[in-house]
Amino acid sequence: MIKVVADIDIPYLKGVLEPYAQVEYMKGKDIGPSSVRGADALFVRTRTKCDRTLLEGSSVKFITSATIGTDHIDLDYLASRNTAFANAPGCNAGGVMQYVHTALFAVAAAKGIELQGKTLGVIGVGNTGSRVAALGEHLGFKVLRNDPPKEAYAEDKSIYCPLEYLLDNSDIITMHVPLDQTTKGMADSSFFSRVKPGTIFINASRGEVLCDDALLAKRGELAALILDVWNGEPGAISQELIDAADIATPHIAGYSYEGKINGTAMAVQAFARHFGIEGLYDFVPGHTPVPRLELRDADGGFLPTPEVASRLLSAFPIYELDNALRGNPSSFEKIRGEYQYRREFVWR
């Protein structure tokens, strides 16, 4: 029988694999070389680093991560040992879209900033950034998109702009890039030197794309700062940045009910296809329809910022998480682990 080691915090997974595999569940941080030595497959999240240290001498043939990111996976090492890998790209795109716009409108309403008609700059326009951009246009923003890898292969390159142009011309900047060698530390002093005074800055991608000192040096010129991800998380995150942020949350932008269903479904389906388990090819956890949220008026017109904020906050009371993190930053991982997944919404 196939032997599987799985992160116990992957939701809706227990009982799914058991008819086909012997499954051991563990906390992601506790998955180590001794526990994977006899395993054929791993189900992980971002807290498990899959590299030579973990896998050398093991019989692991397949790894799936129920997350969008791959920075916890040594893909070159996996290729060298012919270990197959699958992740869940786009699984939490709707949740991050919801987070960005809820936080943005909440802060703007609190500070008396009218957003309709402002320019929203989206850096990284993959599954998540494209959805942030689309909802932004629906809410009345002019949207600038920057994504050199996507632009290189796009038939219509006119929808993209250079990073410098975006930084010079955006009233709101939101980061949605993957973490790799081209993006690590990209938001540095040179980056922030081009950001206009009065800009709202949001990072819900990875903490490591930011240089903390550069952001702190710019903070006094920003209209608002929203951070969900942090250098050093979950442990040594910057108290100074928490204090500087208008909204500070513990890496839960993508923690929605739908996002977790999508991530688990994609992980199980990839596992099933790798091992030829036809009974799981189309597996999806049972769920109810995604609720609809109206964000324009009855005639299709734009609503005032406070009204949009009220509607978004009714679906996602984001300040509860902000208060929890501020109250006890050392509980970052506990707050994240105990978070009750919110529902996403559809708007079109």
Residue at token pair 């799985």: 6
Give every CB contact of residue 255 below 8 A, 6+ residues apart in sequence. 92, 95, 336, 339, 341, 342
DSSP 307-333: HHHHHHHHH--HHHHHHHHHH-GGGHH
Which residue type is seen at 250? P
**Residues 9/44, Cβ–Cβ less than 8 Å:** no
Using N-to-C axis directions, what is the helix angle for 305-315 and 93-111, rounded to 10°?
A: 130
226, containing H or E segment = strand 224-227
287 is an active site residue? no
Q: Establish whether 101 is a catalytic residue.
A: no
Catalytic residue among 206, 274, 336, 342: 206
Q: Residue 35 corresponds to which tokens in the numbers above?
A: 């526990």
Q: What are phi and psi of 204, to 5 degrees?
A: -130, 30
Rounded Cα–Cα distance for residues 170 and 165 (Å): 8
> Which of 208, 233, 258, 344 is the catalytic position?
233
Residues 6+ apart with CB under 8 A from 10: 43, 45, 66, 263, 264, 267
d(CA 175, CA 230): 13
C-alpha 41/C-alpha 262 separation (Å) is 20
State the catalytic residue, choosing from 251, 274, 336, 342: 251
305: three-class secondary structure by DSSP: helix
Could you confirm whether 278 is annotated as catalytic? no
CA atoms within 13 A on the CB side of 48: 27
What is the token pair recorded at 229? 């991800």
Q: What are phi and psi of 41, to 5 degrees?
A: -145, 150
Phi-psi region of 307 (alpha: psi -120 to 50; beta: other; left: phi over 0): alpha
> Active-site residue numbers?
206, 233, 251
